[in-house]
Each structure stands twice: as C-alpha cells, then as structure tokens.
Amino acid sequence: MKKKILVATLSILITAVIGVWFFVFYKPTHFKRDVADEKGISISAPDLVKAFQENETAANTTYLDKSVEIKGEIVEAKPDQSGLTMLTLKSNDAMAGVLCTLKSADPTLKPGQTITVKGICTGFLSDVVLKEAIIVK
C-alpha cells in the first residue's frame, strides 16, 4: 500500500516536472509559429492593399502580425537571395501589391495564376508584406 502511494506520488511529480519544463522552458523558445495551424483572415489582394493605402494605422491594427489568407493573381514570381520564392500579387493599383515570401521554394508558380496564399502580415512598405507564407490553393 505504502509502495503504491510512493509510486503514484513519484509519477505525478515527474509528470509535473516535465510539464513545467515543457511549457515554461521548452515550448516558448522552441515552438515555431506555423501559419498552417492558424485560421487566417480571408481577404482579396486588392482589398488588402486598399485597406493599407486608405488608413495604414487602422490596417496595422487589424492585420499586423496576424495570419492572413489572400486570394490574388500573381504578377511576379522569383527567388530571393536565399532561394525562397517571392510572389507579388496584383491589386487595383499598378504601383502596389502584396509581396509574399514563401516558406519553401516553389518554382512552379507563374505570373497569371490565381492562387490563395496564407502568411503573417508584417506591414506595408511599397507593398503589403507577408512572411513565412504557404500556398493554400
């Protein structure tokens, strides 16, 4: 009986220690945010660009650091310095678009294709910028 209690206490203790270690030390530093696991805010590329052009501060509040799922037409697809694919999606303004850097290279993507891409919105320069993006469709 005493032995049983000891074993039970010990296993609870070990689980607690591992739990604390995992959630306090391991997970916050090693866990990588992955857009694939997040439900993105759905919006079209022209609407997203328009939102930032009309009121950047308000758009930042809505989209900054959020997962955004965007449907749009590719106007440019090319590799960046690290070889990752960079896509520019068309908006209604020829001078601005949505710039997405994909998590992994995809040389099959070509201008003219309409795709849905999900990534983390980092803000607005000459384009709205998404990082760590993935192709949804």
**C-beta of 16 vs 125, nearer to other proteins:** 125
CA atoms of 56 and 103, how far apart (whole Å) = 26
Q: Decide: is 127 part of the binding site for other proteins (CB under 8 A).
A: yes
Q: Which two tokens stand for residue 43?
A: 């919006």
Please, is 130 exposed, middle or buried when counting C-beta atoms within 10 Å of its C-beta (0-12, 13-18, 19+)?
Answer: buried
Site residues for other proteins, window 21-80 (CB under 8 A)?
28-33, 60, 64-65, 80
- Out of 41, 75, 86, 136, the only residue in the binding site for other proteins (CB under 8 A) is 86
d(CA 131, CA 57) in angstroms, rounded, equals: 19
Measured over the CA atoms of residue 17, residue 23, residue 28 and residue 32, the dihedral's sign is: positive
Which region, judged by CB under 8 A, interacts with other proteins, from 8-16, 40-48, 67-75, 117-125? 117-125
Angle of helix 45-54 versus helix 56-63 axis, rounded to 10: 130
- # binding residues, other proteins (CB under 8 A): 27
**Of the candidates 41, 75, 84, 109, which one interacts with other proteins according to CB under 8 A?**
84
- Least separation in angstroms between residue 131's CB and other proteins is 5
Nearer to other proteins, 28 or 137 (CB): 28
Binding region for other proteins (CB under 8 A):
28-33, 60, 64-65, 80-82, 84, 86, 88, 99, 101, 120, 122-127, 129, 131-132
